[in-house]
Every structure is written in structure tokens, then in C-alpha cells.
Amino acid sequence: MYVCPICSEKLKLSNKTYRCRSGHCFDLSRKGYVNLLLTKGRNPAKSGDDADMVRSRTEFLDKDYYAPLADRLCQVTAERMKDIKEPVIIDSGCGEGYYTTRLAGIEGSRVYGIDISKHAVAHCMTRVHLAGITNCEFAVASGFQLPFRKECADAVVSVFAPVSNDEYARVLKNSGVLIVVSPSARHLYELKAAVYDEPYENKPNVYGLNKFNLDEEITLEYPAHIPSREDIRSLFMMTPYAYKTSEEGMARLAALTDITVTCGFVIQVYTKKTF
């Protein structure tokens, strides 16, 4: 499945090292993932989520507030994979593997998670080991240079992560599907209303997916009661608002002891255009 990020030749695993024919080597980490991000592409400012963000996301996701999204995502993906014997699914920008490990429940699936953050990928390995999952592999890599061969995947899934028109089209089979999850207009509106003077609705993401046709769009919205300061803070810290909130806003956040928020998601299913 994996290709060498230097020369694009196939990588073979032997004695815990991936090697290509040209002799480039990538060792499995102690936790069992491989880092296929080239050093020159490793800009610390662009190395994805840091350890604190990964911890916040894990703490929040593990309370299953977003379980209805995980269930719906798996249902939509499984439906598209139902006639395929061993579907290959790539979760691009997989974070700490909450959705990836659930996608691995799809019958016969082989699931590959990639993320540019090594903290996130290390956590994915902990998750699969704890759950005894054997059909998931993880690599540190960029969604804009996927370490997979051409037309190898039946599905690419991207949940709240950067989206690459060219790379997703390259790695998907012609019959493959791209499933993108983004926030709906009302996602977490009540949290923003509690923190900001002028809360705003989210604008739809524009991905420029000109190599794909939109085939299906599902909006999933439900209220979630968040009953503790800790969970409210974890939720806030895993959003982009964590970077751009004033001290006054953070003080209002800290004063919240519970809140009911709208969890709102748009699941889009795209098919590949054939030229």
C-alpha cells in the first residue's frame, strides 16, 4: 500500500523497516506507526495538532458526544463498501483515530489513517492496541502528499481535516468515493454565543473538488448537553476558536458550568469524475 515519499516506489516491510527498491528506509516507531513525512516538509509551524490539542480532542471524543456522527459516518461508508470484498479505506487527517478505529468495524475493511501530527498518530496506536484492532495501520504523512500508490483505495474519508482534490483523486480507484465531514452552519453556535458578543454561523467550506461530483449530502444535527467545566474546555480547545479568543472570552468560557450545544455536521459523499 505505502509508497516511498522520496522516489514513489513501493515500500515493503521487513524486520520493522519499510524499504523501497532504491534503498530508502523508514523504521516503524516503538508504538508501531511509520513516519513518512520528509524532513524538508516538516515545518514545525505546520506539523498539525500539538500534544495539548490531541489530549483535549481525545478527552472530549472519548465521552462520545460525537458518537452519532461516528455511527452515521460508518453507516454511510459501509453502505458504499457493501459490494467490495476487502475495502481499502484511508482516513486522511485522522487525528487521534476516533473515527478511524470505528471505520475499521466495516466488514473485511483494511483501514489506513494518516495525519501530519506525530502526537495524533502515536495516540492512534494506543487506541488500536487497547481495543485489539488488527486491521488499521497508521503513518505520519501529509494529506497533500499521500504515501499511497495510485488508485489503491475504495474510500477516502476526511473529517474536519484539510482536503486535497489532486491527492484524493490520485489514490482513489475510479469506482471509489470521497467522504468529507465538515461543521454545519449551527455547529456549536450556543458555545460561541456564550463566549463572543457577536456569535456567527459557520460558512460552508469550499474545497475546490473539481475532480469529483457531489453524490449525496447529509446534514446531521442534534443537541448535546455538556455537564462539566472540563468537557466544555476540552471541546473549546479542539476548535479553531481556541486560537482566536480574547482574555474576556476565555473568562466567560471558564465561568460556564454546563451548556447545551448543537452538534451539527455535513457529510458529503463524492464520486470521482472520469475524464
Ligand X SMILES: C[S@@+](CC[C@H](N)C(=O)[O-])C[C@H]1O[C@@H](n2cnc3c(N)ncnc32)[C@H](O)[C@@H]1O
Q: Which residues bind ligand X (CB under 6 A)?
A: 48-49, 57, 93-95, 98-99, 115-117, 120, 142-144, 159-162
Scanning 27-117, the segments in alpha helix (DSSP H) are: 51-61, 67-81, 98-103
Report the nearest approach of ligand X to the CB of residue 170 (Å): 15
Pair 100, 94: CB distance under 8 Å: yes
Q: Which is nearer to Zn ion, 22 or 219 (CB)?
A: 22
C-alpha cell at 146: 499521500
C-alpha cell at 188: 456549536
* Residue 95 contacts which entry, ligand X, Zn ion, none (Cβ below 5-8 A, type-dependent): ligand X
C-alpha cell at 85: 470484498
* Residue 6 contacts which entry, ligand X, Zn ion, none (Cβ below 5-8 A, type-dependent): Zn ion
Coil/strand/helix, residue 4:
coil
Pair 11, 26: CB distance under 8 Å: yes
Pair 229, 202: CB distance under 8 Å: no
Report the nearest approach of ligand X to the CB of residue 66 (Å): 8
Q: Which is nearer to ligand X, 50 or 258 (CB)?
A: 50
C-alpha cell at 203: 460558512
Q: Which is nearer to ligand X, 23 or 162 (CB)?
A: 162
* Residue 4 contacts which entry, Zn ion, ligand X, none (Cβ below 5-8 A, type-dependent): Zn ion
Q: Which is nearer to Zn ion, 24 or 42 (CB)?
A: 24
CA distances from 152 to 79, 89, 139, 172 (A): 19, 9, 16, 6
Cα angle: 92, vertex 99, 27; to 5 degrees:
55
Report the nearest approach of ligand X to the CB of residue 159 (Å): 4
Report the nearest approach of Zn ion to the CB of residue 10 (Å): 9
Q: Which is nearer to ligand X, 48 or 87 (CB)?
A: 48
* Residue 117 contacts which entry, Zn ion, ligand X, none (Cβ below 5-8 A, type-dependent): ligand X
Positions touching Zn ion (CB under 5 A) are: 4, 6-7, 9, 20, 22, 24
Q: Give one word for 132, left, alpha or beta, with left for phi > 0 and alpha for psi -120 to 50.
A: left
